[in-house]
Amino acid sequence: MHMADALLSPVVSGTMTIAASTAVYFSYKKVSKTLDEVHLPLMGVMGAFVFAAQMINFTIPGTGSSGHLGGGMLLAALLGPYAGFLSMMSVLLIQAIFFGDGGLMALGANIINLGFFTCFVVYPLIYKPMMRRGKPIIYRAIITVFSAMTAMSLGAFAVVIETVLSGRTELPFFEFMILMIPIHLAIGVVEGLVTFFVLEFVYQQRPGMLQNEEMIKEGIPKKQLRKGAIIGLIISVLLIGSVISLYASELPDGLEWSIENIVGSTDLESQSGLHQWFSSFQEKITLLPDYNFKENSQLNSSLNGTSFSGIVGGILTLSLLLLFGFILRKAKGKSGHEY
């Protein structure tokens, strides 16, 4: 669901950038008061995990389309909505800058579509109040899948609204919507199931990692739960990014598939000189476009671009979030507050 710059007008792009920046600011302020030091490395590792997971496009049977995990529900359940949102923002930032996945002008919209609705709408209003560990496992599975489907459909609907408001008349509202919503509901089913199994595994192994108060009644000290779980997640990141990503579907994702079914191509012409400037700038700074080496790269013959991208992207995301944690600790130290 990563939007390209060409889908958005400068006005809509600017509005979404302001909205995303505001959400990031308030999330940072909230996290600076509530996030304990033990959670900081978990933020980095979970961000890297979601980056790697998003590289794996899975085929949606019978559609000719594919999808990938958003990861917002997983981040919110493990980190809470504010830290989860910041982690998602970091993933999308790394993807746009270093891999050309999602436009720079569209970064604000992508942060809202993939992060805001999941962390600040679906998680607090649906997932958290409805999830109860005393309920049967099938109930917990249904709630997780329903939450993921809702988050995906809200994000998809937002894409349609943003595109229509940007004046892309070749993508009529109703036609675009009836393609986007069903395909992302299908993607949401897969995301929900994966999220459910990961969270169930985490609960069985490390119940204190989950944010919902109903899930951590055992009162197990969190500091006793982190090391093994973080090591396991790091191994998972390396395995997913370097090996499993090689088997990702090459079919267009839900957004590309919807556009192609309407206009006959996934490529839309840019609307203005500003679009051209951002596109040219992004092309210059992108190190591994589309998660592969540039054509003139000397590494083409010696390394696999996808595996290399998965490892590099995971490291970059982890490093960015750890840097955020370092800055946060310094700021709290100067203010005289302790974790």
User: Could you read off the pLDDT of 105-145 as tens digits, one per residue?
Assistant: 999 999 999 999 999 999 999 999 998 767 788 999 999 99
Which pLDDT score is estimated for 150? 97
Question: 221: pLDDT confidence band, cut at 50, 70 and 90?
Answer: very low
Domains and their CATH numbers in the chain:
5-330 (1.10.1760.20)
Mean pLDDT of 148-160: 97
User: Could you read off the pLDDT of 3-54 as tens digits, one per residue?
Assistant: 999 999 999 999 999 999 999 999 988 888 776 666 677 788 889 999 999 9
DSSP element (H, E) containing 202:
helix 173-205
| 14 within 8 A of 168, measured Cβ to Cβ | no
Q: How far apart are CA 38 and CA 36, in angstroms?
A: 5
Which pLDDT score is estimated for 156? 97
Q: Is 178 or 199 the better-scoring residue by pLDDT?
A: 178
Which pLDDT score is estimated for 300? 57
Strands (E), the chain: 58-60, 65-67
Which pLDDT score is estimated for 44? 86
Q: What is the DSSP letter of 2?
A: P
Q: What is the DSSP letter of 288?
A: S
Question: 338: pLDDT confidence band, cut at 50, 70 and 90?
Answer: very low
Q: Residue type at 95?
A: Q
Backbone angles phi, psi at 243, to 5 degrees: -120, -60
* Residue 215 clears pLDDT 50, i.e. is over it: no
| 112 within 8 A of 16, measured Cβ to Cβ | yes
Cα–Cα nearest to 209, from 49, 68, 23: 49
Mean pLDDT score of the chain? 85
Classify 245 as helix, strand or coil. helix
Mean pLDDT of 58-73: 92
Q: How far apart are CA 34 and CA 281, in angstroms?
A: 37
Which pLDDT score is estimated for 105? 94
